Structure 1
Amino acid sequence: MGIKRNEIEEKYKWNLESIYSSEEELNKDFEEVKSLLNEIKKYKGILSDSWENLYNTLYLYEKILRISENIYVYTHMKQHEDTRNNKNQALSGKAEMLSTEISTITSFIVPEIIEIDENDMNKYMESEKLKQYKKFIDEILRKKPYTLSPKEEELLALSSDIANTAENTFEMLSFADVKFPEIEDEEGNKVRVTHGNFSKFLQSKNRTVRKNAFKSVYETYEKYKNTFASTLSGSVKREIFYSKARKYNSAIEASLFEDNINLKVYENLINVISKNLDDMYKYLKIKKGFLKVDELHMYDLYTPLVSKIDIKIKYEDAKDIILKALKPLGDEYLSIVKKAFDERWIDVYENEGKKGGAYSWGSYDSHPFILLNYKDDLNSLFTLVHELGHSLHSYYSRKNQPYLYSHYKIFVAEVASTLNEQLLMEYMLNNAKTKEEKLYILNYYLEQFRTTVYRQTMFAEFEKIIHEKSESGEALTSEDYCNIYYDLNLKYYGENTCVDKEISFEWARVPHFYSNFYVYKYATGFSAASILSHKILSEGKEAVDKYLDFLKSGGSDYPLNQLKKAGVDMEDEGTIQIALDIFKNLVKELENEM
């Protein structure tokens, strides 16, 4: 049996009471949002009549979103503590219903703003009170070609609750209902495989443990392949439905439009990676030699090259390492990281029913929160520093931007997290005590490239293929998903790897496929972070100041503009190539260590 939540020390659990100290407080906010929704209804049909009506509508809208964000974040994080808890399931469901109600009632705002005569809008914007909403309004007007009539917008908003069914079903099936078998660990003990310990088993020195963990997970997903195919197809169809309804050319165009990203950025990524697969093949060939195996299997990929050392990093030690590694970012940045450690921003350890993986979340009125499933290993250390990057980005955004501009676009979301990882990587390479330790960390650095750049691009290509096939009228079955996914693994891992048939079911366990066209941002973010971290280490304060300005800018500008100001042009193919050249040099360095 796993650890129960009440068996974990308080200091290792996040303090959600800092958002709501009682159920009464939560219910009070539910009621306030309901009241504000009744008030904002009065402006439907008359929003464009005067600048006062426009201002009052936007003021109420902002207030509704701000309070409801507290509700949504709190109820879902409570559910994630133990996904089996019926009360918390009900509360998060109630929050989702409220979100749907908000979307429905406020759906008149965008189409009515779009209908305002240009001359009238220019006069309205002379008001000092409305100037704070200028970018918000400009962003709405940018979407004018893809915005429908008020009645049609209301219908789309009403559909959002149903549209989330596929993702919700996936989460409940994958994280709450599916149980993996027990296997024998390295000591011969029977241990049940979980989402939290799976990665640890894949890094085991014992090949039988790795293989059994790998097979136990993917053979379990195989049993549910048709259900997972149904949920994934439902999610794909949702995106296609909304893109067609709004008259985009495709689902991917609709998704990229949100961040104001050119389709060329997405396609460049896949093209540049595809041209640089030889370096990946070379790395895997070297890995095969290090591991002394006849065949390199998929369950061998996460295995450290050095078996003589075992880097164990307890959580308390991880905190000290991170503070030293992030020192180049300056004292102010470090003081905020210390607050995260000292003020219970972080839910550290796995417990029964807890949501797997890791994330950084929070609301405008709360500090950031981090969900972890910490194991005493290097991967957990890097996961922690990664999520702290997200949290510091959110912290700076919220402190320096008004609510409506505090949410940075997803396109830049992975830059701060990956930059933190790269600073940690450099610190650990520079402070390795032995050749074996340096080799271990060098391999870990290469694995970050493999999993964050190459693997996420493979995911991105998978998404692109399945959406295009679905848009052309193909009904995709579990067999189709498996075949597409298996072929991509063959392409990305090459002839030096034995691509096991079980990997064809991996698509069924990837939650990011339900956040359409998200994963490519890991690869672009890694590339941008590579350049920025190099600038910070080589240029010092000037580069740090530009980087902090980037973090503080939140959602006040478009992502490509923000990165250009920080010193990175993501529309240039060469930016991705710079990251891959770093990978190439690391492979050569690894080869020299053989």
Structure 2
Amino acid sequence: MSEVKKLKTRDEIDSMHKWKVEKMYKNSVAWEEDFEILKSKAPNMQRFSGKLGRAEDLLSFLESNVEILRLLDKLLVYAHLRGDEDTAKAEFQILKNKIDAYEAEASSITAFFIPELLSLPEGAVDEAICKLPELKIYEFYLKDILSQKPHTLSAEGEKILASARDCLNAPENIFGMLTDADMTFPSIKDEKGNEVELTEGNYSTFIKSKDRRVRKDAFEALFGTYSGFKNTLTTSLTSSIKNFIFNAKTRNYDCALESSLKPNNIPVEVYHNVVDTINNNLSSLHKYVSLKKKLLGLDEIHMYDLYVPIVDAKEDHIEYEDAVKIVLDGIRPLGQEYLSIFKEGISEGWVDIFQNKGKCGGAYSGGCYDSMPYVLLNYNYQLNDVSTLAHEMGHSIHSYYSRKTQPYIYSEYVLFCAEVASTTNECLLIDYLIKNETDKKRRLFLINEQLEGIRTTVFRQCMFAEFEKITHENIEGGNPLSPEDLCKIYHDLNQKYFGAEMVVDEGIDMEWSRIPHFYSDFYVYQYTTGFAAANSFSKMIVEEGESAVERYKDFLKSGGSDYPINILKKAGVDMSTPKPLEDTIRRFDELLEMLEKEI
């Protein structure tokens, strides 16, 4: 019998494969010293309360606040990175708990700032900036806060809303407890006839099974279970929507959608444009469904057939060092400066590469203004891991440029821009792999991978966004929604998006009930816009060369120094128009043509 390969402990991982977090703090003792400094300095910020009307005190507050926040960020990042290396190691979990608790305390100390700034007389901030040129750097930051004045309550009102926050989060918490802790699924038989308990985790494997009976059984068992809780799940989701609408009305927004988009100065027309543009191009998705049905040799294509690969391709074992080379080749169009930063990140210890016992799962990019970027991976030698490396390094190099170029207050980019750089890297990588693959089966596999990426990230997330739009508008209009209403809305959307050849099985009607993002209102459309912007950038970079690369790097360097629509527009991608989405659909159509020719 072969020996079971055990997961290595953290200490057994070679240091060359670990991120160099010790560049932030040599050890916990050094971290504790800075923590004591933070605790001694933060309470002193109270001295500015009631004095922000004086230009000198406003400047002093802002500069002191940046100092406090930078130190807080550094302490938070170190504790969380160390905690994620080994979640069972008490030393770092203690650090995490300490700094997480103090973050809330530090925030309460400066809670007076925004209400006091908003209470200043009209024009007071402009006068202060004229008087003290050192305040000029804070102009966008301050005016952005002032722009929220019509939607900010009195100090007492804000206090009441803040105290109700925990109650208003109850629907999401109930959804989480029900679906994560209480809900269990029946057993199904796998490809070999073995009884296996279905879980949310293994469902994603079963739904891709080449055995149609397995994926059908998994589909029906999963959604059948959700259907058994449809009344509770309807109540939790509609209550969440009602809470969001309550917040929007309380803050004097015209509608819930505006309350989600306006803080980042994104016009509601951008959201409508996403839904309308995708709706105008659904024929491309219908064609894909028809082609998939043909390639799978099916008389009927059902919802449970969507995720099964149309091409069997043997997964290559890709060593990490080879993954780095593949990504570098893929992103070569970004130029030598970008490639040098990527190589620096690899050699200087940005990346924590391999899984170890107790390590946090998944992948992410982290770091702060006073550290280098850090990337957590759980590298498993497959093509998907190569793509993940490209994705997370895209985030990290975006952060690198932003932090090098912008002052602290503008160094973070907002969610609307957050997935653009990471996805641009992925687009460049898959385009390179498709163009350079000589094995026909592998090339077909890669083409289908990008088609699936666009289907799930652009079309599917837009369908989610349209579901949110319809449900919010109904409840805002005084129309209560029953389980049957939600299921019908979702069923009709699936029929529209997937077309006449798709058999829209009854089970899919309950899919709305398992999407956690629906509890973060109007969030998912940004997956669609992010992919579209990234596709536009990668296309320009490949076709136009250096001029497009320079515009793209200007985007990476912009951080949060302007509103996201403006930042993207300056770089050549106007998300207020249909063009980036139409370009993405064109890429989808090109891939469909390639697939048809290759078969």
CA distance in 2, matches of 1:117, 1:73: 38
Residue 476 and residue 46 in structure 1: after superposition, are their counterparts in 2 closer, same or farther (change >3 A)? farther
Kindly provide the amino acid, as one letter, of the partner of residue 468 in structure 2.
Answer: E
Deviation string 1:353-402 (CA, Å, 9 cap, x unpaired) is: 87665433332223333344555444343333222222221121112111
* Counterpart residue number, 2:132: 127
Q: What aligned pairs does 1:453-532 form with structure 2 within 5 A after superposition?
A: 453-473=458-478, 481-532=486-537
Residue 308 and residue 138 in structure 1: after superposition, are their counterparts in 2 closer, same or farther (change >3 A)? closer
Indicate conservation of the 8 Å contact 2:535/2:580, yes or no.
no
Identify which range, 111-120 or 390-399, moves more after superposition. Answer: 111-120
* Counterpart residue number, 2:395: 390
Deviation string 1:493-550 (CA, Å, 9 cap, x unpaired) is: 2232233444344444434334332221121122222222121112211111111111
Give % identity.
Answer: 47
Residue 362 and residue 296 in structure 1: after superposition, are their counterparts in 2 closer, same or farther (change >3 A)? farther
SS for the counterpart of 2:9 is helix
Identify which range, 321-330 or 75-84, moves more after superposition. Answer: 75-84
SS for the counterpart of 2:375 is strand
CA distance in 1, matches of 2:276, 2:222: 32
Residue 164 and residue 128 in structure 1: after superposition, are their counterparts in 2 closer, same or farther (change >3 A)? farther
Residue 25 and residue 548 in structure 1: after superposition, are their counterparts in 2 closer, same or farther (change >3 A)? same
SS for the counterpart of 2:365 is strand
Structure index of larger Rg: 2
Residue 569 and residue 196 in structure 1: after superposition, are their counterparts in 2 closer, same or farther (change >3 A)? same
Structure 1: gaps spanning 5 or more residues: none
* Counterpart residue number, 1:535: 540
C-alpha deviation, 1:431, in angstroms: 0.7
Residue 101 and residue 484 in structure 1: after superposition, are their counterparts in 2 closer, same or farther (change >3 A)? farther
SS for the counterpart of 1:367 is coil
Q: Does 1:444 align with 2:449?
A: yes
SS for the counterpart of 2:112 is helix
Q: Does 1:425 align with 2:430?
A: yes
C-alpha deviation, 1:332, in angstroms: 2.3
* Counterpart residue number, 2:309: 304
Kindly provide the amino acid, as one letter, of the partner of residue 513 in structure 1.
Answer: F
Indicate conservation of the 8 Å contact 2:402/2:556, yes or no.
yes
Identify which range, 375-384 or 255-264, moves more after superposition. Answer: 375-384
* Counterpart residue number, 2:296: 291
TM-score under structure 1 length normalisation: 0.86
Kindly provide the amino acid, as one letter, of the partner of residue 374 in structure 2.
Answer: F
* Counterpart residue number, 1:6: 9
Identify which range, 409-418 or 507-516, moves more after superposition. Answer: 507-516
Residue 350 and residue 246 in structure 1: after superposition, are their counterparts in 2 closer, same or farther (change >3 A)? farther
SS for the counterpart of 1:47 is coil
Indicate conservation of the 8 Å contact 2:369/2:408, yes or no.
yes
Kindly provide the amino acid, as one letter, of the partner of residue 140 in structure 1.
Answer: I
Q: Does 1:54 align with 2:66?
A: no
Q: Does 1:547 align with 2:552?
A: yes
Identify which range, 498-507 or 380-389, moves more after superposition. Answer: 498-507
C-alpha deviation, 1:336, in angstroms: 2.7
SS for the counterpart of 2:400 is helix
* Counterpart residue number, 1:249: 254
CA distance in 1, matches of 2:102, 2:346: 33
Indicate conservation of the 8 Å contact 2:56/2:132, yes or no.
no
CA distance in 2, matches of 1:189, 1:18: 50
Residue 227 and residue 87 in structure 1: after superposition, are their counterparts in 2 closer, same or farther (change >3 A)? farther
C-alpha deviation, 1:561, in angstroms: 1.6
C-alpha deviation, 1:441, in angstroms: 1.4
* Counterpart residue number, 2:121: 117
Indicate conservation of the 8 Å contact 2:394/2:421, yes or no.
yes
SS for the counterpart of 1:569 is coil
C-alpha deviation, 1:287, in angstroms: 0.6
Q: What aligned pairs does 1:31-430 form with structure 2 within 5 A after superposition?
A: 31-48=36-53, 50-74=54-78, 97-125=101-129, 126-160=131-165, 199-211=204-216, 214=219, 218=223, 232-233=237-238, 235-307=240-312, 309-310=314-315, 313=318, 315-348=320-353, 357-372=362-377, 374-430=379-435
Deviation string 1:405-450 (CA, Å, 9 cap, x unpaired) is: 0111211222212211111121011111122222221111211211
Residue 213 and residue 22 in structure 1: after superposition, are their counterparts in 2 closer, same or farther (change >3 A)? farther
Deviation string 1:223-282 (CA, Å, 9 cap, x unpaired) is: 666666566456544533432222111222111112211111100110111121111011
Residue 359 and residue 558 in structure 1: after superposition, are their counterparts in 2 closer, same or farther (change >3 A)? same
CA distance in 2, matches of 1:514, 1:440: 34
Residue 172 and residue 388 in structure 1: after superposition, are their counterparts in 2 closer, same or farther (change >3 A)? farther
SS for the counterpart of 2:419 is helix
Identify which range, 247-256 or 335-344, moves more after superposition. Answer: 335-344
Residue 197 and residue 483 in structure 1: after superposition, are their counterparts in 2 closer, same or farther (change >3 A)? same
Kindly provide the amino acid, as one letter, of the partner of residue 591 in structure 2.
Answer: L
Residue 296 and residue 410 in structure 1: after superposition, are their counterparts in 2 closer, same or farther (change >3 A)? same
Residue 462 and residue 286 in structure 1: after superposition, are their counterparts in 2 closer, same or farther (change >3 A)? same
Identify which range, 177-186 or 136-145, moves more after superposition. Answer: 177-186
Kindly provide the amino acid, as one letter, of the partner of residue 502 in structure 2.
Answer: T
Kindly provide the amino acid, as one letter, of the partner of residue 401 in structure 1.
Answer: Q
CA RMSD of superposed structures (Å): 3.7
Deviation string 1:82-128 (CA, Å, 9 cap, x unpaired) is: 77999988876665554444444323212322233345433321313
Residue 32 and residue 247 in structure 1: after superposition, are their counterparts in 2 closer, same or farther (change >3 A)? farther
C-alpha deviation, 1:22, in angstroms: 4.6
Identify which range, 336-345 or 257-266, moves more after superposition. Answer: 336-345
Q: Does 1:435 align with 2:445?
A: no
CA distance in 2, matches of 1:214, 1:19: 47
C-alpha deviation, 1:580, in angstroms: 1.5
Kindly provide the amino acid, as one letter, of the partner of residue 305 in structure 2.
Answer: D
Indicate conservation of the 8 Å contact 2:9/2:357, yes or no.
no
CA distance in 1, matches of 2:9, 2:382: 24
Kindly provide the amino acid, as one letter, of the partner of residue 468 in structure 1.
Answer: E
Residue 191 and residue 356 in structure 1: after superposition, are their counterparts in 2 closer, same or farther (change >3 A)? farther
C-alpha deviation, 1:36, in angstroms: 3.6
Identify which range, 326-335 or 187-196, moves more after superposition. Answer: 187-196
CA distance in 1, matches of 2:211, 2:319: 22
Residue 535 and residue 455 in structure 1: after superposition, are their counterparts in 2 closer, same or farther (change >3 A)? same
Structure 2: gaps spanning 5 or more residues: none
SS for the counterpart of 1:572 is coil
C-alpha deviation, 1:181, in angstroms: 7.2
CA distance in 2, matches of 1:312, 1:72: 36
C-alpha deviation, 1:308, in angstroms: 5.3
Kindly provide the amino acid, as one letter, of the partner of residue 9 in structure 2.
Answer: N
CA distance in 2, matches of 1:519, 1:135: 27
Indicate conservation of the 8 Å contact 1:306/1:436, yes or no.
yes
C-alpha deviation, 1:157, in angstroms: 4.2
C-alpha deviation, 1:347, in angstroms: 4.9
Identify which range, 456-465 or 468-477, moves more after superposition. Answer: 468-477
C-alpha deviation, 1:467, in angstroms: 2.9
C-alpha deviation, 1:452, in angstroms: 1.4
SS for the counterpart of 1:370 is strand
Residue 119 and residue 502 in structure 1: after superposition, are their counterparts in 2 closer, same or farther (change >3 A)? closer
Residue 175 and residue 37 in structure 1: after superposition, are their counterparts in 2 closer, same or farther (change >3 A)? farther
CA distance in 2, matches of 1:537, 1:485: 38
